[in-house]
């Protein structure tokens, strides 16, 4: 446990990016370690979808653009795989800024082509290669991001397929493994644009050799259209819906 805390602190303190949560230090509070982090007043993306039901495509594009920049920084500059990307680890504030948090199970790479074989992180958002105990690289985070964004788009976890009668029951380990490893990736909502759906499908490419990196996805047409869009649009939507 101490090693995990030290890892998170070392990672947070060493990161300097607008889409990575800032760490201001840590202190002991009795037998507990308190970590002082940048305040994000709306909490997590999980909190947002609990209140709003789902996030529309245009707002999700602004969120995805920021998160891909954060992941690209982690993967290429810091040589880090996060390994636990999920809505509850993605923080947001009322200005529309989105930041990656919780580095307790992150892993270090020598370069972005290196692979790891350890089993850590939240099972629900694991990529197929990690479920199969195969070597994985930084684009395992891209799968987890795609699944997280799709959850925001549907308003519910996308396995089983949203709209079926099975969406409300909680999945056990073997069920979620069956869905992620053996079944087709879940679709985008029917009101998504073609390029939006293609972006999600690119994230949820089951074969890691075919799955794009965060850097490559920053060049995807869906993401490129949000490069110069003001966060004020997302800020306005959040202020109305939160």
Residues marked as catalytic:
84
Give the list of residues 6+ apart from residue 91 with CB closer than 8 angstroms, or none. 21, 40, 43, 44, 45, 98, 99, 100, 101
CA dist., res. 90 & res. 67, Å (int): 8
Q: Is 239 helix (H, G, I), strand (E, B) or coil?
A: helix
3-state helix, strand, coil in the chain (%, to 5): 45, 10, 45
CA dist., res. 108 & res. 10, Å (int): 12
Which one, of 231, 209, 227, lies nearest residue 218 by Cα? Answer: 227
CA dist., res. 31 & res. 98, Å (int): 31
- Residues 65, 225 contacting (CB under 8 angstroms): no
CA dist., res. 138 & res. 148, Å (int): 16
């Amino acid at each position: 446990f101490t090693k995990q805390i030290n890892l998170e602190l070392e990672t947070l303190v060493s990161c300097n990016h607008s889409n990575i949560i800032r760490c201001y230090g840590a202190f002991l509070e009795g037998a507990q370690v308190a970590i002082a982090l940048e305040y994000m007043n709306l909490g997590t993306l999980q909190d947002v979808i609990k209140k709003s039901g789902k996030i529309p495509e245009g707002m999700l594009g602004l969120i995805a653009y920021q998160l891909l920049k954060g992941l690209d920084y982690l993967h290429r500059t810091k040589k880090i795989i996060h390994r636990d990307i999920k809505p509850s680890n993605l923080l947001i504030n009322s200005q529309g800024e989105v930041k990656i948090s919780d580095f307790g199970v992150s892993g270090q790479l020598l370069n972005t082509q290196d692979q790891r074989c350890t089993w850590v992180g939240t099972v629900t958002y694991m990529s197929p290669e990690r479920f199969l105990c195969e070597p994985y690289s930084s684009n395992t985070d891209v799968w987890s991001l795609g699944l997280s964004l799709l959850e925001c788009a549907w308003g519910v976890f996308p396995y089983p397929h949203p709209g079926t009668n099975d969406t409300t029951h909680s999945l056990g380990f073997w069920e979620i493994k069956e869905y992620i490893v053996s079944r087709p990736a879940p679709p985008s909502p029917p009101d998504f644009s073609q390029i939006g759906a293609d972006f999600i499908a690119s994230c949820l490419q089951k074969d890691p050799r075919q799955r794009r990196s965060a850097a490559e996805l920053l060049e995807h047409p869906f993401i490129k259209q949000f490069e110069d869009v003001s966060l004020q649009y997302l800020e306005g939507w959040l202020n109305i819906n939160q």
